[in-house]
Structure 1
Amino acid sequence: MDLSAVAFYVFSILIIGSAAIMVFAKNIVHSAFALMFTLAGVAAFYALLYAGFVAVTQLLVYVGGILVLILFGVMLTTRGYFEKVRTRTVALLPSSIFVAIIGALLIAVFVTTEWSKMPLEDGQVTMTGLGELLLTDFMLPFQVTGVLLLLAIIGAVLMASRARYPQQRPHPDNPGHPEGDPKGPQEPGQDPQQSADGDKGSG
């Protein structure tokens, strides 16, 4: 057994174990980090297949982009980012049947397919060639992708700023006072507790 076969089995165990943790973990943050190891294992598979560009793209897009987006979405929710995930018992039966059918189909394909035993060789397309293609023939899709990523970053910043500094609406009884704050707006840097104590002392 050569080193590539050992690496294949190691990364297979990593992917299966982290995927199981991702599915059965009740903490959504733990599931997100288990997803990170699953996606990293898939990137390692691409590296074993001499697809270095696809492996790096897997790490940058999925691990560095999608996973961070999931964590941001969890942390910016009002429930907090250690919310427990509860799966209803009614949903376990149909999901288990669906997983069993998919697993049976994959096993059937794996057993009945005559896999090629030709040795893998390094591909003709290099990183330099891919870079030239992205900046010549595929310039427009490359620039559009950059604009979409920029819009996603701007949207994430706006979501974070709104979650940190929520806007106050006027109180229905007194338009001059913010809703839920009969004392009115506080001065910048002023502690609301100190303001309340000062009002009691003056009264």
Structure 2
Amino acid sequence: MTEAVPSYLSPTGQEVVFLLLGAVAVGSALLVVMTRQLVHAALWLVVSFGALAGGYLVLTAEFVAWVQVLIYVGAVVVLMLFGIMLTRAPIGRSADLDSGNRLVAAVVAVATAAVLVTVVIDGFRTAYTPLKPGAGGAEALGASVFATWVLPFEALSVLLLAALIGAIVLSRTDIPGGPPPSEDASPPPGDTAPPDQAQPSSPPDQTGGR
């Protein structure tokens, strides 16, 4: 059911909150691709996903909002952070994250955004649905996920677990097949050199003196 489009000069409180959440999502998404620190990029991704979840809540889609938080923020981003730590990836500022194609990427992003905005405005110019709280669809969606799509759901959980185990195996040096320890690594404090690497003692006095 559609109603007459109200004036854009008098937005409702829900529309203002939705616009603010959209601005936060877009701004944090830009920071994800512009920062040169991998951990900061993952944290800004958390902010972007959180803003999207808030937008779903404003649209009275609470099930999709909590799935956004649990799956993307609570699983994917956390898995990325654990993968960074377990594989000993560089977490500081890195110049390798800048590909040098900023101009091309900016042109493609602006063109894609212009096409999407044009299509949305042209397709929903005269359609307006008021944001009214409803009963929600958590019951129907939950029954569909855990009845029809339960096998892909469990397969995805096994895939994430396998990725985490693989990161642990690749980062361990005491497991056969793992990366060898670096040659320039100094031994930890308190370790003594092995017997075959001990310093040779001074040769005995050959002068015959007592």
The TM tier, using the shorter chain, reads 0.7 to 0.9
Correspondence for 1:156 among 153, 156, 164: 164
Name the counterpart of 1:88: 99
Name the counterpart of 1:200: 198
Q: Is residue 120 from structure 1 mapped to residue 117 from structure 2 by the alignment?
A: no
Q: Per residue, is there more helix in 1 or in 2?
A: 1
Does structure 1 retain, via aligned residues, the 8 Å contact 2:87–2:170? no
Greater C-alpha Rg? 2
Distance 1:180 1:87 in 2: 27
Q: In the alignment, residue 29 of structure 1 is paired with which amino acid? A: V
Change (3 A) 1:168 1:201: farther
Distance 1:17 1:193 in 2: 50
Q: Which runs of 5+ in 1 are unaligned?
A: 170-177, 182-190
How many equivalent pairs are there?
Answer: 183
1:51 Cα deviation (Å)?
0.7
Does structure 2 retain, via aligned residues, the 8 Å contact 1:168–1:179? no
* TM-score normalized by the length of structure 1: 0.72
Name the counterpart of 1:11: 21
Name the counterpart of 1:184: none
Change (3 A) 1:119 1:180: closer
Q: Which runs of 5+ in 2 are unaligned?
A: 1-10, 202-210
Name the counterpart of 2:30: 20
Distance 1:81 1:42 in 2: 26
Of structures 1 and 2, the one scoring higher in RCO (CA 8 A, sep 6+) is 2
Correspondence for 1:72 among 65, 75, 82: 82
Does structure 1 retain, via aligned residues, the 8 Å contact 2:61–2:136? no
* TM-score normalized by the length of structure 2: 0.70
Q: Is residue 44 from structure 1 mapped to residue 54 from structure 2 by the alignment?
A: yes
Distance 2:118 2:163 in 1: 44
